[in-house]
Amino acid sequence: AQTVTQSQPEMSVQEAETVTLSCTYDTSESDYYLFWYKQPPSRQMILVIRQEAYKQQNATENRFSVNFQKAAKSFSLKISDSQLGDAAMYFCAYRTRIQGAQKLVFGQGTRLTINP
């Protein structure tokens, strides 16, 4: 079974600086999708960024980018120019592409604090 591990329960960063959140996963599949979701105090789950495993190029969305290392099964999230609104829980998630096994597997989450 696929597993996702976020080894940093909590992280903090100064406003305007850069922070990287770690995520590793375990799978025997070669084709899959990876996601980062943000959960602010409102409890809403917001998609931050997604990556297809067959694409070597790292995904970027404005200040958010990933470092996808397929061989190492690593999928870290980099937030540049951190803003107070980035404070939230961040979840890494893995989605299998194999028919009949549709599910999103989440990591335990990393709580990110932004210091003004």
How far CA 16 is from CA of 48, 66, 85, 101, in Å, comes to: 18, 18, 11, 41
Q: Please, which residue, 17 or 36, has the CB nearer to another protein?
A: 36
Neighbours of 11 (CB within 10 A): 16
109 binds another protein (CB under 8 A): yes
Q: Which is nearer to another protein, 19 or 90 (CB)?
A: 90
Q: Answer yes or no whether residue 70 interacts with another protein by CB under 8 A.
A: no
Give the span between the Cα atoms of 13 and 75, in whole angstroms: 20
* Interface positions with another protein (CB under 8 A): 4, 6, 33, 35, 42-45, 47, 50, 52, 91, 95, 97, 99, 102-109
